[in-house]
Structure 1
Amino acid sequence: MKLRHLEIFYAVMTCGSLSRAAEALNISQPAASKALKSAEMKLGFTLFQRVRGKLLPTSEAITLFEKAQSIYQDLDNLRLLADNLARDPRAKITLGCLPSLGLSLVPELVTDFYQQNSNLVMTLTTEHTETLVKKLDLREIDLALTLQPVQQGEILTTLIAEVPLVYIDRHYRQGAVEIDQIDQQRWISPGPHSLSATIATRRDFSTTRLNVQTYYMATEFVKRGMGCSITDIFSAQHNLAPEMIHPITPPMAINLCLLRRARRFPEPDGAKVR
């Protein structure tokens, strides 16, 4: 199937008629009709049934459209990638991180970084890990900080540090806690991500009081006395009073990881990421 055939087919499917498709492609309706017939001849099957002046897609066309949507999404991504490559890569560094890190660790790191690179322009964004990986692929960001390693495509993961995990509870006052001692009737699950996977290696909390999607939300509910949870030390210290934060025994930790593309981006003048 040639690109011009895909173009007319996609236009008809999305516009709903041959006339609107021709208008969208800035061609005449006879030219659009000719291109559509050529596509059907090339494919060897009918794409649309002509019923009472309307074009109704066949089952083959519907199946083909699903793939065409994926192709057009890739084309959109390609255009976005080209736009990002056209920008001056030396002008700034764009750093993405998890929302919880954006509220705690990253501001401290960036402040220290600026003391050594005062001329650098840095852009910061917060997203979940899956979105950060996609933005790395599209070169929307240069680096990403997450709490889990990623092995995908050309993404490289560097382990920066092990971040201690802590037990958080407004009502607990007895120092260190063993994970088996935690009351699962009060358990606030921190969401379906690497932290939950790490916790599951020690204990499976089959009953939960609340399920949240971010570490920050877990700390907010703990602050209000809604229950207890486990989170990273940075999120806990940023949002909770010291008496609500307790060590876990034996100790638990989660990996702080730096993600980047395999092909190293040009560094800004005078800047070096350490």
Structure 2
Amino acid sequence: MKKARITQKQTEAFRAVMMSRSMTGAARLLGSSQPAISRLIQDLEAETGLALFDRVGGGLLPTQAAFALAEEVERSFVGLRSITAFAEQLRRERAGHLRIAAVPVLTRGLLARFIVPFMQRHSGYKISVVSASSRLVVEAVTRGQADFGFTAIGMNLQGFSHVGVRGRAVVAMPGNHRLARQNHIAPSDLGGESFVEIRPGTLFATRVEMAFAGIQRQIHYSVETSSDACALIAAGAGVSVVDPLVALEYRGQGLAFRPLAPGVEAGFQSIQPLRQKALVDGSQAYRDARLFDSFIENFRDFALDHIEQLEISQLS
């Protein structure tokens, strides 16, 4: 089956049509013509094999497929806008600025708790942090919009150095759930359980789906992140398989966490461009490089300590 090759112009046209609900309105938004927008939408439907709009009277009625696609398109636009604003801000900043891009599981928890004491020891620097998907983190670092980044584990990229922190996915459930009495939980134990799915699109979500191949689950909820899944489970939604770093943030909040066996790889890794030449000792670039390396190494140790504590406590 041929893989769809969707262009940026097609997604921009689709987003504009979803916002305006008409080809003419979309053309005005983009400064284009109505026939040009119509062609882009027709090409998008042909590439994806999806019927995106029903033509009703003089207007357009989005299909269910259009609403689902719009969610993904909007997430991409929000991520790109965030990185663009981040880069513009950084261009106005002076030297001695630490710029980090990281996946949400870190920026909403462990990384935030590490940054404050680290920066107190390096008071001459400012810090900027942007939260983005692994793909957008790589893009930010590649374009020089971030000094280094943290992605999901397993993204091996040429031209970058990597420092990894590996963990194993855990099953999240209410503290009084019947499976909380077990030390480990197999994917088959969750057959028939009300399940909170982490929406496909990340390395972690793909690994979880592979672990449940052939096992029927009752997927009643679909969310973006492990943190979102834990919030729903705390409200009584059911069970899920989540990143262990999120389990650290939800301990003591009425949830139980147990290792999934066989294990599903989780964790994160740093990505930093390989240095092409030696730096002059004492220069600003040299001092910055020393700071970047120190941050990455110390954060790795900080994360490993917390993951070890989680395992020792049996995740309860």
Q: How far apart are 1:165 and its partner, in Å?
A: 1.7
Unaligned runs of 5+ in 2: 1-29, 44-83, 280-284, 298-316
In the alignment, which residue of structure 1 is the partner of 2:99?
A: 94
Matched position secondary structure for 1:258: strand
In the alignment, which residue of structure 1 is the partner of 2:170?
A: 166
Q: Structure 1, residues 172-214: CA drift from partner, whole Å, max 9, x if none?
A: 4313212221134412111221112222343225542222111
Unaligned runs of 5+ in 1: 1-13, 18-55, 64-78
In the alignment, which residue of structure 1 is the partner of 2:195?
A: 187
In the alignment, which residue of structure 2 is the partner of 1:261?
A: 273
Find 1:209's aligned residue among 208, 213, 220.
Answer: 220
Change (3 A) 1:86 1:103: closer
In the alignment, which residue of structure 1 is the partner of 2:68?
A: none
Equivalent residues of 2:101, 2:148 under 8 A apart:
yes
Q: CA RMSD in A?
A: 3.7
The residue type paired with residue 271 of structure 1 is: L
Q: Structure 1, residues 139-178: CA drift from partner, whole Å, max 9, x if none?
A: 2211111223334574x25142112321101124313212
Matched position secondary structure for 2:182: coil
Matched position secondary structure for 2:127: strand
Matched position secondary structure for 2:291: coil
The residue type paired with residue 97 of structure 1 is: A
Q: Tell me how far apart the structure 2 counterparts of residues 206 and 183 of structure 1 sit (CA, whole Å).
A: 6
Find 2:149's aligned residue among 144, 153, 168.
Answer: 144
Equivalent residues of 1:149, 1:157 under 8 A apart:
no
Change (3 A) 1:210 1:111: same
Equivalent residues of 1:89, 1:268 under 8 A apart:
no
Equivalent residues of 2:152, 2:269 under 8 A apart:
yes
Equivalent residues of 2:162, 2:269 under 8 A apart:
yes
Find 1:200's aligned residue among 205, 209, 229.
Answer: 209
Equivalent residues of 1:84, 1:139 under 8 A apart:
no
Equivalent residues of 1:185, 1:209 under 8 A apart:
no
Equivalent residues of 2:152, 2:267 under 8 A apart:
yes
Structure with the larger RCO, 1 or 2 (CA within 8 Å, 6+ apart): 1
Q: Tell me how far apart the structure 2 counterparts of residues 112 and 164 of structure 1 sit (CA, whole Å).
A: 27
Superposition map of 1:237-256 within 5 A: 237-240=248-251, 241=253, 243-256=255-268
Structure 1 or 2, whichever has the larger Rg, is: 1
The residue type paired with residue 214 of structure 1 is: T
Q: Tell me how far apart the structure 1 counterparts of residues 172 and 90 of structure 2 sit (CA, whole Å).
A: 44
Q: How far apart are 1:16 and its partner, in Å?
A: 6.4
TM-score by length of 1: 0.61
Equivalent residues of 1:120, 1:271 under 8 A apart:
no
The residue type paired with residue 167 of structure 2 is: V
Change (3 A) 1:111 1:15: closer
The residue type paired with residue 169 of structure 2 is: L
